[in-house]
Copies of this chain bind each other. A is one copy, B any other.
Amino acid sequence: MSTKTFYNLPVQKQNRIIEECFKEFALHDYQQASVTRIVKKLGIAKGSIFQYFGSKKELYKFLINYAGQKKLEVSKKMLESEIDDFFEWYKKVYSYGIKFDLKYPLYSGFLYNVVRERNYEDVEAFRIDSKTQVFEFIESVLKEQQLKGKIRTDISINALAFIFYQAHTGVFDYLAYVHKVDFRENIKQGKPLFSVTEEQINELLDEFTSILKSGMQKQQQ
């Protein structure tokens, strides 16, 4: 299915449609998201959206690529930069993630859902793909750091990468929990997913980094 017809649309209409789709898929998982509801809200015919994207599944893929592209744009420079101090770099990765959320709350909310999507029959495969990519990237960075002697050699990179991955996907849950934020409500109202100050973010990052760096155990004096 080509999205030729869609791209012939006036850019403004394209954006309206995209926004509404993101909203629907940010508020519901794949299965519960309804194309019928999207077209009703947009006031366009049902046939149109299928003309533009072919099927619900292809629409979903389109949105993943679209949001992924935006995310890449924001974090590209950061990902390419040399890693001097690993933990400082790691903090930066986080804060970029949070900046992306502040800039594109809808895409961020959508990706939050994608990562947690568990609809095996239909779309689990895309999710696994993107997970593997992120995972392997983390692994490669950690291996490099281990070679440089920055990381203990008696723990498996696998386990470590997993902790990082978990922390990475879990940071939003943590913020939601601590600051009692209701993502869905904010998405509904077109607000940013959460409102935290730069300070609060840094505090959080310092804590997480410190735990991972030196452990939680009280040092003997």
A interface vs B, CB < 8 Å?
29, 31-32, 87, 113, 116, 118-120, 135, 149-156, 158-160, 162-163, 166-167, 170, 173-174, 177-178, 184, 204, 207-208, 210-219
Identify 6 residue pairs between A and B in the complex whose beta-carbon atoms are under 8 Å apart, listed by A's number.
Answer: A113-B118, A116-B118, A152-B217, A162-B177, A166-B173, A214-B215
The interface centre, meaning the residue of A31, A113, A219 with most chain B CB atoms within 10 A of its CB, is: A31
Query: How many Å from the CB of A36 to the closest CB on chain B?
Result: 16
Do residues B216 and A155 form an inter-chain contact, with CB atoms below 8 A? yes
CA distance A167 to B177 in the complex (A): 16
Identical copies in the complex = 2
CA distance A178 to B207 in the complex (A): 28
Extra 16 A-B pairs, beta carbons < 8 Å, given A152-B218, A158-B178, A159-B174: A29-B29, A31-B31, A116-B116, A135-B177, A151-B217, A152-B219, A155-B216, A159-B207, A159-B211, A160-B216, A166-B166, A211-B212, A211-B215, A212-B215, A214-B214, A214-B215
CA distance A57 to B41 in the complex (A): 29
Which residues from B are CB-within-8-Å of A29? 29, 31, 118-119
Query: How many Å from the CB of A31 to the closest CB on chain B?
Result: 6
CA distance A219 to B152 in the complex (A): 8
The interface centre, meaning the residue of A31, A156, A184, A217 with most chain B CB atoms within 10 A of its CB, is: A217
Do residues A211 and B155 form an inter-chain contact, with CB atoms below 8 A? yes
